[in-house]
Chain A
Amino acid sequence: MGGECCPPQQWRRRPRAGASSRSRFRQRRCPRPRWRRPAAARGAGGRRAGPGMGNALGPAAPRAPRRGEPLGSPGSFDELHRQCKEVFPQQMEGVKLIVTKTLSSHFQVTHTVHMSTLGPSSYHFNATFVGDRQLGPTEAFPTLIGDMDNSGSLNAQVLHLVAERIRTKAVFQTHQTKFVTWQFDGEYRGDDCTATLTLGNPDLLGESVILVAHFLQSITSRLVLGGEMVYHRRPGEEGAILTLAGKYTALKWVATLNVGYGGAHASYYHRANEQVQVGVELEANTRLQDTTFAFGYQLNLPQANMVFRGLLDSNWSVGGVLEKKLPPLPVTLALGAFLNHWKNRFHCGFSVIVG
């Protein structure tokens, strides 16, 4: 009995009337579980316990492996549409020179000179420090990023891993001498869920704050559901907006949808093959009473060291950016052009990236 589960109860017929008063209904009961030292502490020869009886009669045998695929972490809420957005080309105008220098395995600096045709030209200095704790190819902690331009405006970020599953982020933005943004994030990443709390521009004296809460849950290995709640408060005004989000990831495509009171955002990413990726996006804003559609594609030709991204949207804009690496030099040349047929505007640009 020690090595078995409780045997099934044995039932007998009820005694007939007039029969012996001694009940013939017997029920074999399991003995009360008693705690015993684990077999390893007891030494060899201890009784082997059955499944689920670890506490009563010794250590439990290992359970059978759980059926089904592991759910996987759903990632961050801000990265729901990332794959689709990366297909679209970035707007380019004027001439840009970007020089990146890696000073050590932890420290990197970047100089950016932008000669603009639409606005004032600028120079940016960027410094990045990356710590020892690396969780993935693009995730390392702590990470400190600072970017300052020629007018004295600063953009700084600090990312830190407080615990195994808890990461924090602080963002500061200044426009010359005035603080524009100060934001603090706390994120919990579980095995199949992510929860984030963001505090935006908290001002105790001015009694204003923006609070953003995100939650994502992996329902299956392919389906992620979640939501976002934005609460803002200012003297004399406060409000909240709830947005629901869903993401379905298949082998070759990803579909994502955000729906809320303020509007909707749908995106579809399709990886046709190793060379061609396509992204389709739809955004509807009920407050601005505006909707936009965009179609983008990316062509990768590693044999030619070339990447081309094209764009077509409902604002009658077409554009494209061609990036070409120039081996053996560590140089990338990018050429871009965008044309808005409706507003009859055209702008083009090129950039040289060194390092």
Chain B
Amino acid sequence: MLGVCLRGAHATVRKNCVRSPLTPLQSYRCYSTSRSSGASRVVALGLVTVGGGVGGTLLYSKWDPKFRAAVEKNVPYSDWLLGLALGPAPEDARLPVRKQVRSGGEHLFTRKCKECHKHADVSETAAVASAEPLKERPVDEVTARLVQQDQEEEKLLASLSSRLEDSLASSAKATLQAIGAQEVALQAVTQHTRKLKDAMEAEAPSDEKSTQWKELEAALAERTAAVKDATTTLSKANEALEGLKSVINQAKGQKVAAARPLILAAEENLHQMVVDLDKVVSKVRSAESEAKVVSQYTELVNEAKQQFQREVSSLTPEIQANWKGLTGKLSVDDLNALIAHAHRRIDQLNRELAEQRVREQIHIEAALEQQKVEDHKVLDAAVTTAMGHVKEEARLNLEQKLAELREVMEAEMRTQLRRQAAAHTDHVRDVLKVQEQELRAEAEQVLNSKILDQETRYRQLTQEQLDNFTLDMNAAYARLKGIEEAIDSHAVAEETAREAHQLWLSVEALSYALKSAGADSPSMPLEDAAEAVRASCHDDFCSALASALPQESLQRGVYSEASLRARFNALRSLARRVALIDESRNSLYQYFLSYLQAALLFEDQQEAPPSQLSGADLDPFKLLSYASYCLEHGDLELAAKLVNQLRGEARRVVEDWLTEARLTLETRQVVSLLSAYANAAGLGTTQAP
């Protein structure tokens, strides 16, 4: 594009400049101005392109962070530029989401964990708080405490039970007494009533009547006495029962578990006694009410009788009470008056009777009403007492059932506790077993280590003794050996001297064989000489060296240095000619150029090689001159090294020569080593006279 622009610029220049013949300066100016307009266009276009590119890169890197990262990595200083333009690289765009997620998860976890931590904390604090006072008390203290507690309980129980029993006994006695008294009273009342009835109804003669009345009075007195006695005993029994109730309540208040059945039994007894008492009392009351009725009746009858008596006495004052015996003493008037009175009385009574009959219904109704009311009252009283009894019974049943349930629960709890205790004992047993094992292992370890120490010390001591003894023995033995060896070595030394001489001679023969190389022909094959050397070799070094001679030299022989030198001179020109040809695909044109170069380039025939070859020294011409110098000065090795640096076609050309040179060098090296070795061996074995 730039070329096009330039061409365009040139075209414009030519157009502008062709208009009028211009001086070089003007043309230059014109050239420059048109060039400047074209150049300004170019510059503007370039700026626009660059700006567009930069802006596009910025926008895209803002949108795509990966692109931004790639740009920053590849273009230097772009990270600074992008940072300036867009702000820091949004690497954290990826992280906040993850952080949020992680934090959310953590938050959840922490919340959950907070709850569990709270629980744990609460329980912990509770445990800690309760752990403070719940330090494990020593066993003795615990047992003492337990024993004390048991004793206290027993005492309490004993006292309670004794009290209960006492009160029960007393109340039972009182109740029995009361019941007995009530029964006696009942008996007395019924007897009295019966006697009264008999007395009323029976028309016995007077003396029997009087005895009857006396009996009646006695019965009445008995009855009153019995009733009084009964009331007192009843009150006493009630008192005793109240006392029992209070004792029972007290016992309940103390809440001793073992006393509950006792309490329950006492309550039952109490209830029973109360019930019995009430029954007997009700019986007595009914009997009393009956007696009241009878007594009322007797009173009425007595009243009537007395009235009649009064009436009769008012009529006939002379007549005494016993008027039934007065049959002959009365006059006719008296009799008539009496009959008239009697008739009048009869009329009156008839009238009263009629009146009574009329008022019968009303009286009966009133009486019924009264009776109903009385019955109601009695019924209510009976109902309340019965209810009370039933309630009491129900409560007692409940209490009994509760007691039973409690016992069952207690038994269950005891079994669970027993189970827990068993589990605890098992666990403790296991832990103890583990501990025992650990302790045993530890003790054994300690024991073993101590034993080991002792053993090592013992062994050390014995070893020392042995060593000392061995040292002495070794010293004596060594001395003996030394003497023997000195004697042997003399013989050996003579032998080695002879061998060394032999070796030296064979090596000399080998080196002489090397020298037999002609001007252009190789030396004689070194096989025989090498064989001789091998024969006279008696150690590995020598035999290794002898076998290190290259095969070619053994079979064909090696060229001498002079022949190699001559050959090199011939090769040099050839190498110079193909110096430009390298290993790539060269055309004939290259060959032509290489020939030209060789013809035109002149270098020193011989140049001293530097100690270190630099890059410029690897030029083939230079190398060849170095190699010539070396060869002229007899340093075949260095020459070969330098020639080895040739590359390409030149190298191929001198390959043969190089192989020959290597061969010669190898052989010469081996031979020199062998001769050095032979000399050394000879020197070593030679004894100064």
A and B held together in a complex: no
